[in-house]
């Protein structure tokens, strides 16, 4: 049966270039089979699931026949003028790369004698919103590095995958009744399509997703190794519990007492949780930071998060109502034992285990209410330095072991039960938080440290070091008066250890990692609990993966039990070794789990026998360059380092650290918004009138009504009205999100890639500008016309180039090799914007040449290829090559052409300098004299004159001695 192609869906006519396998073979794109604009309708080309429409930026072409406009059918007949045919060549080369697996990194037969380069993006969470133009910033940078290193002869590993478990998909499933796997897979397909449309050279054969059982089998395997070594354990700990979401939230997911997602109330409550003992690796995590090529700000954030401090644990005895010592002591941790004589009260955390034993009957209701209020705050809220300090007196006292004084015990939420011992000795004279608290609640303040300059600022605590005062008690044998803070601290610790009042202690802010979520959409934890003894039994490794069961109802149970408890037939099981009835763990792993080790799986993604082959890991590890957002500076990077060190200890990996170099790309802000206000009668208010602006609502002004005036922006019609100009982070709520699909359809993927690199330094935040992308698009159009020539009358281009098979001039070689040197240097330094500037300078120079030698043009195309790969591949093909340029050697600068070989030569007439000429360093005396004779300024001295002799010092001077009998009158 014959099929008429005009009735077929575009997907059938033109199979998606984004699939791994193509339904029919694509021959290598040659200059004779280039797709023409008539092959596709001008208004729509479908690629996979996305429709690329060629329209004015940000607008859709609509069928407007009913309104007297041009219908879409009529529009298709109208010629479309483009700077170059990106709509044809980009689809063509994406298909070619897919079909030929151009960027596939060999798995088993790789030549390990060659150097390796492992460049990795922090893999994305595939949300339903798809990419916005901020996402490709880092991806483009890594792609440039990957393409550049391939051309330098490296084996390059440049993979992509999906961090696909997590709460957003589960919440969407609850709201819509759609299984989270369906929405996640749909989102992944959209992301993959968008990434491929931008020409990124990922090895898609290594693609992994954390939701696939073949992947999370090994996440579960790592958990079992942690469990075997005592690094995974269960504990009842206070957590951020969100009843509406039915799950525990991390501190970072709670803002002002409500969940970041949905704004639901969050409370603190104790729950049985799985914990990972990251604190056992605190010192190694801290020490090994020094050897990493990471931003110093990221390393400092990790140091602060780990928070290693040296101090002492001190014991304070509790007093009864008669002032006698009870058999209860409170242990506090302090980094300033030198200030113990200044401790005028103790503070315990609301969750301190001894609190109930300390509270008097009179204060019990006040304390109970306060503890309930504190349970609704996250740790971040409680420790916020700017917040007002609150607390309640317990009605109980303790004895300061240094001076024997009875000091009150308070409960306050600025002390955390998870840090130190959950109790502190408060020294208000020398700690700002304690000082604020003491002032508020009228607690005594005792100064025990005098600054070295003897100056104490009124109304403030002095938290620095100095000389100890008011700190002597002969009854207990402790006198530290006159000592420096450091000397005093050592003496107090020595006294405490001898007297039994305390001991030296190293402490960390770092807490063990809470590793359980009351969610459905996560990795099942591979343990069971025996019904008759409640014993925890890990699954045998042969039973992995423990596959997540199918559920129709993902909503919270309302009882605190995780949604997995609804899968009754899955939950009830038997121990494979003993045959005893058992119950499965129904908590799941947090989203961080799968992202802790994915970089290792990319090295060996199809291995069913082990997490990663040791030979492959030794070759590829560690990651050479890891690019991602600074928001992952602590949690993801710290957790990944922890797991990696555990894997190092058990012999799975050969390196101490997973990521040798980390780069944080900046964010792309939305286009600048211009704003002003109006007063009550409607008059515009200038931004100078800041005292009035707070009373009025900001009004957005369209960009076409704005002009620049000095350093400010003003209204064109009212230049006296200065405007606010501000760019915001892209978000749907602000309506300033730019979809890369729209940009690609209007300007092409190469233009988007080039613009994102040209906006400014990779690590800086930048503001999106449509006029900016138009500028780099013009640069690509000029590049195309320089090499291919001007368009024909019908708007198409010739299949060949206008380059010539001639030897380049010295000047052309100099211009080329300076460009090569600059582009190479800037790629190596990830200064991509200045590399693009160098290519623009080359293009400007090349437009002045009469002819364009092929050898020079080919080298320039290779320079351009990491940045604009689609155009470069097409130009390379039109230059007569039959293979992809992906593995062509990257041009090398010849030092001989980098030196400026011309010199400025002074010219003297009869010993007096009359001018200068520019000559080659190797210029002969005769050539120098000829150039001088032709010089407009010098020729008037030489024309018609008889030369007696010439004195020539190469590169230094030319002195022409004239026969004085023939010198023209009036010339000298």
Q: Which helix (H) or strand (E) holds 282?
A: helix 282-287
> What is the Cα–Cα distance from 611 to 601, expressed in whole angstroms?
7
Q: Would you list the DSSP string of 496-531?
A: HHHHTSEEEEEE-S---EE--BS-SSSPBP-EEEET
Please give the C-alpha separations between residue 500 and each of 315, 317, 484, 504, 778, in angstroms, as whole numbers: 8, 12, 24, 12, 79
Region 628-654 average pLDDT: 94
Report the share of the chain in percent with pLDDT over 70: 89
pLDDT of residue 363: 95
Q: What is the pLDDT of residues 397-451, one digit of tens each?
A: 999 999 999 999 999 998 988 778 999 999 999 999 999 999 999 999 999 999 9
Q: Which helix (H) or strand (E) holds 933?
A: helix 925-934
**Closest CA relative to residue 856, chosen from 800, 802, 890, 813:** 813
Residue 380 has pLDDT above 70, yes or no: no
Whether residue 356 is preceded by a cis peptide bond, meaning omega within 30 degrees of 0, is no
Could you tell me if 554 and 517 are in contact, meaning their C-beta atoms sit under 8 angstroms apart? no
> What is the Cα–Cα distance from 475 to 473, expressed in whole angstroms?
5
> What is the Cα–Cα distance from 844 to 848, expressed in whole angstroms?
7
Instruction: Let me know if 871 is exposed, middle or buried by CB neighbors in 10 A (0-12, 13-18, 19+).
Output: buried
> Mind spelling out the 3-state secondary structure of 299-330?
HHHHHHHHCCEEEEEEEEEEECCCCCEEEEEE
Chain centroid to CA 682 = 45
Could you tell me if 274 and 232 are in contact, meaning their C-beta atoms sit under 8 angstroms apart? yes
> What is the Cα–Cα distance from 853 to 413, expressed in whole angstroms?
75
> Which 8-state DSSP code applies to residue 550?
P
> Which 8-state DSSP code applies to residue 722?
B
Residue 153's SS3 state is coil
Band of pLDDT at residue 696, cut at 50, 70 and 90: low
Residue 77 has pLDDT above 90, yes or no: no
> What is the Cα–Cα distance from 955 to 562, expressed in whole angstroms?
85
Which residues neighbour 800 within 8 Å (Cβ) at sequence distance 6 or greater? 31, 788, 878
> How many DSSP H helices and E strands does the chain contain?
29, 41
> What is the Cα–Cα distance from 343 to 333, expressed in whole angstroms?
12
**Closest CA relative to residue 370, chosen from 409, 412, 408, 330:** 412
Which residues neighbour 12 within 8 Å (Cβ) at sequence distance 6 or greater? none
Q: Where are the alpha helices (DSSP H) in 801-924?
A: 810-828, 832-846, 854-864, 869-878
pLDDT of residue 54: 30
Instruction: Let me know if 635 is exposed, middle or buried by CB neighbors in 10 A (0-12, 13-18, 19+).
Output: middle
The CATH T-level fold of domain 307-506 is Isoleucyl-tRNA Synthetase; domain 2 (3.90.740)
Give the chain's mean pLDDT.
86
Q: Which residue has 């208004």 as its token pair?
A: 43
> What is the Cα–Cα distance from 295 to 288, expressed in whole angstroms?
14
Least confident of 114-123, 229-238, 294-303, 556-565: 556-565
Q: Where are the domains of the chain?
A: 110-208+589-662, 215-287+511-582, 307-506, 671-725, 738-895, 900-960
Residue 82 has pLDDT above 90, yes or no: no
Phi and psi at 759, nearest 5°, equal -60, -30
Residue 922's SS3 state is coil
Task: Examine domains 110-208+589-662 and 900-960 and report if their fold is the same.
Answer: no
Chain centroid to CA 940 = 66
Cα torsion 236, 237, 238, 240: sign = negative
Residue 630 has pLDDT above 70, yes or no: yes
CA dihedral of residues 316, 317, 323, 325 (deg, nearest 10): -160
Q: Which helix (H) or strand (E) holds 942?
A: helix 939-942
Band of pLDDT at residue 73, cut at 50, 70 and 90: very low
Please give the C-alpha separations between residue 726 and each of 697, 718, 734, 762, in angstroms, as whole numbers: 15, 20, 13, 21
Q: What is the pLDDT of residues 712-770, one digit of tens each?
A: 888 888 888 888 777 777 776 677 788 899 999 999 999 999 999 999 999 998 888 88
> Which 8-state DSSP code applies to residue 725?
E
> What is the Cα–Cα distance from 541 to 537, expressed in whole angstroms?
12
The strand pairing partners of 161, in sequence order, are 208
Helix, strand, coil percentages for the chain (3-state, nearest 5) = 35, 20, 45
**What is 900-960's CATH number?**
3.10.20.590
Q: What is the pLDDT of residues 521-562, one digit of tens each?
A: 999 999 999 999 999 999 999 999 999 999 988 887 777 789
The CATH T-level fold of domain 110-208+589-662 is Rossmann fold (3.40.50)
Residue 625's SS3 state is strand
Region 857-863 average pLDDT: 98
Structure tokens at 725: 């100009």
pLDDT of residue 536: 96
Q: Which helix (H) or strand (E) holds 941?
A: helix 939-942
**What is 738-895's CATH number?**
1.10.730.10
Report the share of the chain in percent with pLDDT over 90: 63
Least confident of 362-376, 703-717, 766-780: 703-717
């Amino acid at each position: 049966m014959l099929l008429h192609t005009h009735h077929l869906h575009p997907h059938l006519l033109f199979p998606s270039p984004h699939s791994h396998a193509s339904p029919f073979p694509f021959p290598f794109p040659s200059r004779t089979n280039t797709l023409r604009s008539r092959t596709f309708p001008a208004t729509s080309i479908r690629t996979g699931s996305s429709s690329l429409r060629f329209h004015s930026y940000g607008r859709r072409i609509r069928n407007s026949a009913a309104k007297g406009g041009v219908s879409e059918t009529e529009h298709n007949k109208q010629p479309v003028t483009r700077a170059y045919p990106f709509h044809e060549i980009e689809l063509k080369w994406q298909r070619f790369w897919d079909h030929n697996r151009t960027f596939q990194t060999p798995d088993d037969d790789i030549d390990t004698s060659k150097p390796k380069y492992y460049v990795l993006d922090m893999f994305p969470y595939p949300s339903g919103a798809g990419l916005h133009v901020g996402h490709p910033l880092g991806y483009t940078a890594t792609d440039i590095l990957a393409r550049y290193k391939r051309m330098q002869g490296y084996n390059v590993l440049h993979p992509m995958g999906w961090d696909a478990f997590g709460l957003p998909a589960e919440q969407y499933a609850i709201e819509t009744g759609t299984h989270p796997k369906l929405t996640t897979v749909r989102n992944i397909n959209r992301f993959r399509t968008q990434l491929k449309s931008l020409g990124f050279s990922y090895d898609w054969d290594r693609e992994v997703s954390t939701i696939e059982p073949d992947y999370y089998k090994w996440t579960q395997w790592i958990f079992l190794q942690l469990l075997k070594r005592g690094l995974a354990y269960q504990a009842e700990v206070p957590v951020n519990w969100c009843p509406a979401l039915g799950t525990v939230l991390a501190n970072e997911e709670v803002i002002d007492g409500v969940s970041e997602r949905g704004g639901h109330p969050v409370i603190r409550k104790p729950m049985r949780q799985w914990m990972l003992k990251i604190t056992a690796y605190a010192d190694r995590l801290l020490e090994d930071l020094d050897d990493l090529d990471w931003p110093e700000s990221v390393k400092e954030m990790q140091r602060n998060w780990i928070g290693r401090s040296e101090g002492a644990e001190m014991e304070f005895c509790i007093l009864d109502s008669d002032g006698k010592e009870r058999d209860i002591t409170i242990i506090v941790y302090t980094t300033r034992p030198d200030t113990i004589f200044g401790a005028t009260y103790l503070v315990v955390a609301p969750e301190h285990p001894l609190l109930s034993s300390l509270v008097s009957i009179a204060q019990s209701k006040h304390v109970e209410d306060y503890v309930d209020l504190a349970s609704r705050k996250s740790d971040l809220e409680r420790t916020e330095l700017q917040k007002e300090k609150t607390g309640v007196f317990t009605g109980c006292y303790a004895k300061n072991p240094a001076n024997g004084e009875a000091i009150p015990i308070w409960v306050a939420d600025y002390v955390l039960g998870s840090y130190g011992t959950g109790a502190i000795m408060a020294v208000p004279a020398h700690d700002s938080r304690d000082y604020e608290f003491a002032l508020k609640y009228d607690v005594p303040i005792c100064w025990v440290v005098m600054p070295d300059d003897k100056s104490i600022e009124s109304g403030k605590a002095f938290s620095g070091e100095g000389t100890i005062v008011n700190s002597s008690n002969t009854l207990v044998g402790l006198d530290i008066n006159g000592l420096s803070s450091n000397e005093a601290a050592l003496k107090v610790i020595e006294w405490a250890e001898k007297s039994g009042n305390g001991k030296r202690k190293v402490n960390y802010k770092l807490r063990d990692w809470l590793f359980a979520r009351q969610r459905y959409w996560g990795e099942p934890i591979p343990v069971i609990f025996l019904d008759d003894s409640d014993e925890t039994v890990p699954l045998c490794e042969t039973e992995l993966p423990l596959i997540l069961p199918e559920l129709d109802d993902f909503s919270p149970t309302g009882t605190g039990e995780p949604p997995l408890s609804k899968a009754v037939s899955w939950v009830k099981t038997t121990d494979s070794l003993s045959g005893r009835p058992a119950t499965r763990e129904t908590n799941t792993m947090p989203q961080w789990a799968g992202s802790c080790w994915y970089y290792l799986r990319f090295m060996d993604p199809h291995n069913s026998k082990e997490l990663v082959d040791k030979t492959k890991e030794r070759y590829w590890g560690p990651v050479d360059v890891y690019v991602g957002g600074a928001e992952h500076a602590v949690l993801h990077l710290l957790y990944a380092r922890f797991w990696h060190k555990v894997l190092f200890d058990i012999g799975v990996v050969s390196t101490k650290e997973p990521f040798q170099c980390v780069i944080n790309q900046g964010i792309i802000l939305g286009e600048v918004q211009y704003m002003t206000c109006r007063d009550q009668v409607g008059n515009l208010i200038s931004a100078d009138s800041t005292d009035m602006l707070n009373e009025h609502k900001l009004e957005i002004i369209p960009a076409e009504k704005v002009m620049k005036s000095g350093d400010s922006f003003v209204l064109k019609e009212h230049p006296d009205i200065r405007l606010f100009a501000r760019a915001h982070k892209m978000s749907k709520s602000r309506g300033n999100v730019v979809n890369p699909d729209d940009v690609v359809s209007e300007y092409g993927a190469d233009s988007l890639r080039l613009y994102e690199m040209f906006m400014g330094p990779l690590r800086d935040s930048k503001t999106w500008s449509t006029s900016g992308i138009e500028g780099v698009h013009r640069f690509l159009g000029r590049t195309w016309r320089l090499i291919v020539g001007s368009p024909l009358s019908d708007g198409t281009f010739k299949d060949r180039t206008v380059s010539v098979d001639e030897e380049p001039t010295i000047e052309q070689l100099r211009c080329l090799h300076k460009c090569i040197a600059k582009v190479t240097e800037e790629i190596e330094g990830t200064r991509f914007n200045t590399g693009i500037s160098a290519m623009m300078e080359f293009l400007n120079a090349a437009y002045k040449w009469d002819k364009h030698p092929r050898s020079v043009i080919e080298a320039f195309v290779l320079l351009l290829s990491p940045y604009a790969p689609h155009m470069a591949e097409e130009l390379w093909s039109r230059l007569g090559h039959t293979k992809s340029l992906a593995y062509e050697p990257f041009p090398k600068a010849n030092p001989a052409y980098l030196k400026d070989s011309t010199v400025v030569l002074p010219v003297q007439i009869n010993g007096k300098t009359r001018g200068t000429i520019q000559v080659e360093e190797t210029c002969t005396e005769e050539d120098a004299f000829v150039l001088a004779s032709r010089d407009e300024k010098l020729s008037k001295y030489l024309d018609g004159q008889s030369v007696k002799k010439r004195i020539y010092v190469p590169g230094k001077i030319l002195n022409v001695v004239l026969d004085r009998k023939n010198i023209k009158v009036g010339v000298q």
